[in-house]
Amino acid sequence: MDKRKQRTRQYLRDALLELVLEKGYDALTVQEITDRARMGRATFYLHYKDKEELLLTTLKETVDELTVRIRQMFSPEQLFNGSTPPSVIAFRHAAENKNLYRVMLNSQITGSVLSELRNLIAADVQSQLRLLAPDAALPVPAAMIGQHIAGSMLAIVSWWLETDAPYTPDEMAQMMNKLTAQPMLWLTLHDKMMKTMP
């Protein structure tokens, strides 16, 4: 029935994360996952097509959750009253799901997941950017800025989790801000100055 099914899937997800952190994703076999989850190998296939589907499903659920949280910040009533900025939310979410983020960002997963994630973030950054300044006002292409910030973000979160750097999510978000948002502002101003002052 339903409860058993949910329970079984949760066991599989837990086993996956544990094992990926222990010995990497590629080296993992379905047999090992089901052994860890204390079930028969055939049972695995009742729930997921293969190892990859289990992984992607698990990751996707988390990314979706993060997306929802960030989107909530932009509801009409909260948009202009200085609510928590997205980067703070993201760093907090990463701290809450440390293991899962580690798996997702660090080394074990086929790089395509990372690429996809990076492009997804880049697109988001880009669309927000468009709200703030017309493309012509930017000293570099918007898409490139998107990649710049997304790449930096993923690298920094990955580094933070991997080295257990002793900063709170809010401190991380603040420093991140110094490295990305603020320079964008200066850059735009500087560029405008250079153009108007020949």
Question: CB of residue 75 vs its own copies: minimum separation in angstroms?
Answer: 30
Count residues binding DNA (CB under 7 A): 24
9 and 47 Cβ atoms separated by less than 8 Å? yes
User: Smallest distance from the beta carbon of 18 to DNA, in angstroms?
Assistant: 16
Please enumerate in sequence order all residues whose Cβ is within 8 A of that of 66, keeping only pairs 6 or more positions apart, or say none.
89, 90, 93
145: partner contacted, choices its own copies, DNA, none (Cβ within 5-8 A by kind): its own copies
Longest dimension (CA), the chain: 74
Do residues 117 and 93 touch, judged by C-beta distance below 8 A? no
Under rule CB under 7 A, residue 73 binds DNA? no
Give the residue with the Cβ less far from its own copies, 112 or 196.
112
11 closest CA partner among 26, 33, 32: 33
Alpha carbon distance 51, 26 (integer Å): 10
Q: Which of residues 136-175 bind DNA (CB under 7 A)?
A: none
Write the CA distances from 49 to 9, 57, 69, 161, integer angstroms: 13, 11, 29, 30
Q: Please report whether residue 8 would count as binding DNA according to CB under 7 A.
A: yes
Q: Which stretch binds DNA (CB under 7 A): 27-35, 57-65, 99-107, 186-194?
A: 27-35
- Using CB under 8 A as the criterion, what x/- string covers residues 119-148 for binding its own copies? ---x----------------xxx-xxx-xx
- Chain residues that interact with its own copies, rule: CB under 8 A: 24-26, 106-116, 118, 122, 139-141, 143-145, 147-156, 158-159, 163, 165, 175, 178-180, 182-183, 186-187
